[in-house]
A and B are shown apart, each in its own frame.
Chain A
Amino acid sequence: MASKPRVKVPKTASAGEVITIKTLISHNMESGQRKDKEGNLIPRKIINKFTAEFNGQPVFSADMHGAVSANPYMEFTAKVQESGTFKFAWVDDDGSVYEADANIEVS
C-alpha cells in the first residue's frame, strides 16, 4: 500500500544553519469515515506517526489522525551542527514501519 517514501534534504549546509526538510510518502490514508458500495464502513488504516532523527537524536515528529490527506506530506526544519544522517520513519496502523534516510555534509 505504501510505496517508497521521498525525502528532500539539502546535501550541504554550514554549521548552525536551519535547513528545511520535505517528505512525502504514498499511502491512501483510509480515514475510517468512508463507506464501501454495500454501505459498510471501511476500517481506518493510516500512517499514525512520523519521526525524524539526526545522528540518533529526535528532531521532529508528528502524530497523525484521519484528517491528514492521502500521501501525507510533511515539511519542517532542523538545525544542523555537524555532518551526519537523518533517519525518517512512518508507522502504519497495521504496525508496518517504512523508513528512509539522507546524509548531509556540514562545513
Chain B
Amino acid sequence: MKMNRRHAMAMSAGAVVFAATGLSSTRALATAEDVDKAMMQLGGGKMPEAGKVTLTAPEIAENGNTVPISVEVDSAMSDGDMVSSVTIYAEGNPNPDVVTFNFSAMSGTATASTRMRLAKTQNVVAVAKMADGSTYMDKKEVKVTIGGCGG
C-alpha cells in the first residue's frame, strides 16, 4: 500500500489523541450496541434498513468540537410518503444521542444540517423514521484529530 504523507499524519495524530483520552478519561463512552438498541426502539423492535437516507459528514474532522453534518431523505414529503423525523446518533460519544430533526408537510423536503461534537473517531448514524413507522439508516465514519467533549 502506498502511504502518502497526509495519511500518515492523520494516523499518527489519531493515535496520539487516542492515547491522551485513554489516560485522562474515566467516563464511559457509548458503544455501537447502545446505538443499535436506540435504533431498535425507534424502529419499534425492528432494525432500520439501509437506504433512502443520506448522511453527509466529513471523512476527517480536524476539530471534533464542530463537525458539520447534513441529512437528506429521498421522499416526496406529501400524503403517503412522509418523513416524520431523522435522528442522529454517535457511536463513540459519552451519550449516543445527538439531535432529532422533526419534519412536517410544510418542510417541503426532508433535509437538515447542523454542527455536532465528536469525542473521537467514530461512526455517525442517521435514522429516518417515515410516517408509516418504517425506518431507514445511513452510517459514516468520521476520523477526529482533536476530540470535542472537553475533559
Provide the B78-104 mask, 1 if CB < 8 A to any CB of A, else 0: 000000000000100111011111111
Q: Which residues of B contact A (CB under 8 A)?
A: 27, 65-67, 70, 77, 90, 93-95, 97-104, 106-109, 111-118, 148-151
Dominant SS among interface residues on chain A: strand
Task: List 4 additional contacts besides A59-B106, A60-B102; criterion CB under 8 Å.
Answer: A60-B103, A60-B104, A65-B99, A69-B67
> A35: which B residues are within 8 A, CB to CB?
150-151
- A68 and B99 in contact (CB under 8 A), knowing A18-B108, A75-B112? yes
| 4 A-B pairs with least C-beta separation | A34-B150, A79-B108, A18-B108, A75-B113
The answer to whether A67 touches B151, judged by C-beta atoms less than 8 angstroms apart, is no
Q: A77 contacts which of B100, B109, B151 (Cβ < 8 Å)?
A: B109
Can you list 18 A-B pairs, Cβ within 8 angstroms, ordered by A?
A: A33-B27, A33-B94, A34-B150, A57-B106, A58-B104, A59-B106, A62-B100, A62-B102, A63-B99, A67-B97, A68-B115, A69-B116, A69-B117, A72-B114, A74-B114, A76-B112, A78-B107, A78-B108
A41-80 contacts to B, CB under 8 A, are 54, 57-70, 72-79
> A33: which B residues are within 8 A, CB to CB?
27, 94, 149-150
